[in-house]
Structure 1
């Protein structure tokens, strides 16, 4: 098993934390997480990518994980896209991007504007249209933790209530990576200003034409993975995306919710690496 290396990459005016593994001269696979998540979301996928001979890199987006927070509290989509463009200049060759939710949107925007920037794109439960009822559930969960938690166990209970379909882990050690202690309270490891900007679903609702234009502008190999029980991307939304991007591949994973990689990791990896091996091998 390849060792995990900690990297610091330069975004658009700030530092971004990343993990990397696999051969240094391998085709880069860049993993971008969703709103409120961190680079830790891709742990098993990184290992599998290295096993397939890829240079796997998972990035903390600005305001998340160990990356810097926006000094002016801004988190609009263009800034995330600018960060990605800056990161691309530091890689040996154009990567394929695997992006969940917000990360997928950023990858789609950059790929549509400059098709040569990315080799391929995997969109994990995100398209140009988002079901707002499901998106509001995500926003409510993220907002509910704004005042922090008395303990890691209390945070774990909140996650279990939000994700009742998942078995609660016996240990909360993994969850602790997504929390930081300030005083006697534990807080999610993202900038609170990120929520006030309404990033991700709310911005999509206000400006869907931007994302529709990005989707229609995709020319690189593209894969859409949808969780069969997702409340963010409906089956109708997936079909609409495939009409916008007729060359795209589509994988529907039964039983998975919005966070597909965590809900059905083996099926997720099978879909990603079948596509990656075919397009990048």
Structure 2
């Protein structure tokens, strides 16, 4: 594993970790709101790195990446971050995998830079649009309950909101065995500055037309009990995508790779290994 840093178009440092053989197909992981590249868990990353060049990115404002004062409402800025990572790793034929808000970042990239270097997309509990009335951005009860407390600068208010929200990330797998994982995910959320947690929602963009015209294979992975991003958001995206494959996990929550990392890896591998 190597840790590297590149600069986005506005000069923001973007940090990422790379695993596996550099000559293997790139699998670029983009995490969700108020998380980091650590959310995936090193065992899963190392498992996938046995087959692919796994690149786990800290989105701007998260993890070890820079947290500028603005730019979170600009899709060109998000797109430039992903582009900088792909260029640094000389990626061609890459698969972009986005969890939750990471799905929106993938759409930002595709809208600005197109599909030339991309072989496929995996959307995991993902939103593809954001803003009032956007079907691709419909959130569930856990996300609604977290707002606005999760954006508060008062540590007691934020901690309570984020801890309750965190239950949806671990879901049915929450137990004594997954306690350390739940704490790590909570730590990721608390480490994300409150102003960044808030800024990520201060934008409105629809990507339905982008999805309708997307000539790429896309795997849509979603839990039927997801209380962060409503299942209907995944169904909406799948209905628009010309080359969509779906895997809906019955009774699963938002963090599929936490609930069942082996099944998650199997779904991803099954999809990626069919790509040209």
Task: Please indicate the TM-score interval, normalised by the length of the shorter structure.
Answer: 0.7 to 0.9
CA contact (8 A) 1:227 1:257 kept: yes
SS in 2 for 1:237: helix
Report if aligned partners of 2:29, 2:98 keep a CA contact under 8 Å in 1. yes
2:16 partner SS: strand
The Cα shift of 1:231 comes to 2.8
Which has the higher mean CA deviation after the structures are superposed, 118-127 or 234-243?
234-243
d(CA) in 2 for partners of 1:155 and 1:224? 26
User: TM-score, normalising length from structure 2?
Assistant: 0.81
Show the counterpart of 2:272: 276
Of 57, 62, 73 in structure 2, the residue corresponding to residue 64 of structure 1 is 62
CA contact 1:123–1:225 (8 Å) conserved in 2: yes
8 Å contact kept, 1:32–1:100:
yes
- Counterpart for residue 49 of structure 1: 48
Contact 1:22 1:55 in 2 (8 A): yes
Contact 1:112 1:217 in 2 (8 A): no
Determine if contact 2:122/2:219 at 8 Å carries over to the other structure. yes
Deviation readout 1:15-59 (Å, 9 max, x if unpaired): 12211111122111110000011101122331121122x111101
Aligned-partner Cα distance in 2 for 1:41–1:253? 20
Contact 2:212 2:240 (C-alpha < 8 Å) held by counterparts: yes
The aligned runs of 1:163-242 (5 Å cut-off) are: 165-169=172-176, 175-176=183-184, 179=187, 188-197=190-199, 199-200=200-201, 203=203, 206-207=204-205, 210-242=206-238
Distance 2:121 2:208 in 1: 16
Taking the aligned partners of 2:53 and 2:8, their CA distance within structure 1 comes to: 19
- Aligned-residue CA RMSD in angstroms? 3.1
Shift of 1:177: 7.7
Q: CA 1:219 to 1:137, structure 2 compared with 1: closer, same or farther past 3 Å?
A: farther
Alignment of 1:151-170 (within 5 A): 159-160=166-167, 165-169=172-176
In 1, the alpha carbon distance for the partners of 2:232 and 2:83 equals: 31
User: Of the candidates 8, 13, 21, which is equivalent to residue 5 of structure 2?
Assistant: 8
Distance 1:18 1:267 in 2: 25
* C-alpha distance in 2 between matches for 1:139 and 1:58: 27
Paired position in structure 1 for 2:29: 31
Partners of 2:162 and 2:227 lie apart in 1 by: 22
Give distance in 2, aligned partners of 1:227 and 1:158: 16
* 1:184 match: none
3-state SS of 1:279 partner: coil
Matched length: 261
Mapped pair 1:98 → 2:100: no
Q: Secondary structure at the match of 2:195?
A: helix
Unaligned 5+ residue runs, structure 1? 181-186
Offset, 1:235? 4.3
Unpaired runs of 5+ residues, structure 2, are 129-135
Q: Report the CA distance shift for 1:139/1:215 in structure 2 as closer, same or farther (over 3 A).
A: farther
SS in 1 for 2:238: helix
Deviation at 1:158, TM superposition (A): 7.4
